Amino acid sequence: MLFCRFNVRERCQDIFPGIVVVMTQRKFLTQLAPKFYAGLTHPFKAWAILMAVGASHVPTEKREGIDVSTGGKMKLSLGAGLLVVLLLVGVAVGGYALVGGFEPQTPEVLRLALIPAEDIVEMMNLFEPARQYLENELGVKIEMFKALDYTAVIEAMRAEKIEIAFFGPFSYVLAAERANARAIVAGGDENNKLAVYHSILIAHRDSGLQSIDDIKARPKQLTLAFVDPASTSGHLIPRGHMESVGIKVDEHFKEIVFAGGHDATVLAVGARKVDFGATWEGPFNRAVGQGLINPQEVKVIWKSDGIPRSPVAVRGDLDEKLIQRIQQAFLDMPQKAPAAFAQFEGRWERNKSYVAVTGAEYEFIRQVAKGLGKLD
């Protein structure tokens, strides 16, 4: 049973289809008002507050009203008067239902993070044209979140400090588990198919290492550089392979360090600070091309099977329509902003396109992580 004033039976039935409610001031404030208020845009929120404050000063004498469920007259209290005010606000914003009828509003700002696979400042500078493209395409301000390691990006999404992030496959799996991350696109090839990349182990010539068998023969004498605990090619996959051939990574090596970035790992091997290191072919080839390391001194001694390219993910609690818009903006970037796309991808993964993904593409990464005890 719902009580309304001013002969608005038809309007109440429109707004409350199929609902019979006995509305008191306490019940309205504690049950329906918060849901109604949450659905209002900012101008209407302000108006609703002012109207509610004004209503609170109305004299408390009772007035004649109409019981819209029975047609009988009864006395209405302040609670019913407050309901009328907010019903009128509901009519003003389009006649939505008070309970669950408002569509979520597009946020004023979307915050985006890049995993610091290499120098994060340089990565953010290279991403700037892509940021501007996304801002214009979505009509929402895009702010960059600077993270110093992979875990910081995962934790930022878990704490709702970012809405969008570029992850690696393993860091995405961790973020899906801990932070409700949802993959929407990943790197593609020229035919708009999901592309792959490879983890590699590289060794300095002076180490005498030429294969995994050489590592297995004398691990106690060797120093190893990984990239980051949440790195796929720079930690999870090479660790998994070494464990699979009987090398106990945490027990057998003389020393293990986490260099913090793929570029740092490559340079550490080149400078003979470690005997060998884990990375992927992109940073290694770039370092060779830039003359930062000598390919006669630093060699690839192992290469993995293909790994699905890194995903872009959003927080799973975002509005579905907004998620679809973000996904489409990324899918359209190579065509609508080719220079911006090429500038960032030239440093990121050299992808030729972005393709839609669901997260299922990284299931085998999840299984590897579970097998190594890196995922609950």
pLDDT digits (tens, 9 = 90+) for 32-82: 444 434 444 444 444 343 344 444 444 444 444 434 344 444 444 444 444
Cα four-point dihedral sign 202, 204, 205, 209? negative
Does one domain contain both 209 and 297?
yes
CATH code for the domain in which residue 281 is found: 3.40.190.10
Residue position matching structure tokens 């060794």: 203
Does one domain contain both 300 and 203?
yes
Does one domain contain both 344 and 360?
yes
pLDDT digits (tens, 9 = 90+) for 93-131: 444 434 444 455 678 999 999 999 888 999 999 999 999
Residue 98 lies in a domain: no
Domain stops at, among 304, 322, 342: 304
Residue 210 lies in a domain: yes
Residue 258 lies in a domain: yes
Region class of 116: left (phi > 0), else alpha (psi between -120 and 50), else beta: beta
Q: How far is CA 149 from CA 6, 156, 158, 292, 373, in A?
A: 62, 11, 15, 23, 21
Does one domain contain both 297 and 240?
yes
Question: Any idea of the CA torsion for 145, 148, 152, 157, to the nearest 10 degrees?
Answer: 20
Does one domain contain both 205 and 298?
yes
Residue 45: exposed, middle, or buried by beta-carbon count in 10 A (0-12, 13-18, 19+)? middle
Residue 376 lies in a domain: no
Residue position matching structure tokens 């290492």: 209
Does one domain contain both 326 and 295?
no
Does one domain contain both 32 and 45?
yes
Residue 51 lies in a domain: yes
Residue 118 is predicted with a pLDDT of: 86
CA distance 151 to 169: 13
Range of the domain at 25: 3-92
Residue 206 is predicted with a pLDDT of: 95
Q: Which residues make beta-bridge pairs with 67? A: 3
Residue 224 lies in a domain: yes
Does one domain contain both 245 and 293?
yes
Residue 106 is predicted with a pLDDT of: 74
| Bigger pLDDT: 23 vs 175 | 175
Query: Is the CB of residue 37 less than 8 Å from the CB of residue 96?
Result: no
Q: Is the overall model pTM greater than 0.75, yes or no?
A: no
Instruction: Look up residue 142 and give its two tokens.
Output: 């895009």
pLDDT digits (tens, 9 = 90+) for 268-324: 999 999 999 999 999 999 999 999 999 999 999 999 999 999 999 999 999 999 999
Alpha helices in 93-143 (DSSP H): 120-138
Amino acid at 171: S
pLDDT digits (tens, 9 = 90+) for 348-372: 899 999 999 999 999 999 999 999 9
Total number of domains constituting the chain: 3
Residue 99 lies in a domain: no
The fraction of the chain above a pLDDT of 70, given in percent, is: 72
CA distance 270 to 264: 10
Region class of 306: left (phi > 0), else alpha (psi between -120 and 50), else beta: beta
Residue 345 is predicted with a pLDDT of: 93
Residue 348 is predicted with a pLDDT of: 82
Q: Which helix (H) or strand (E) holds 224?
A: strand 223-226
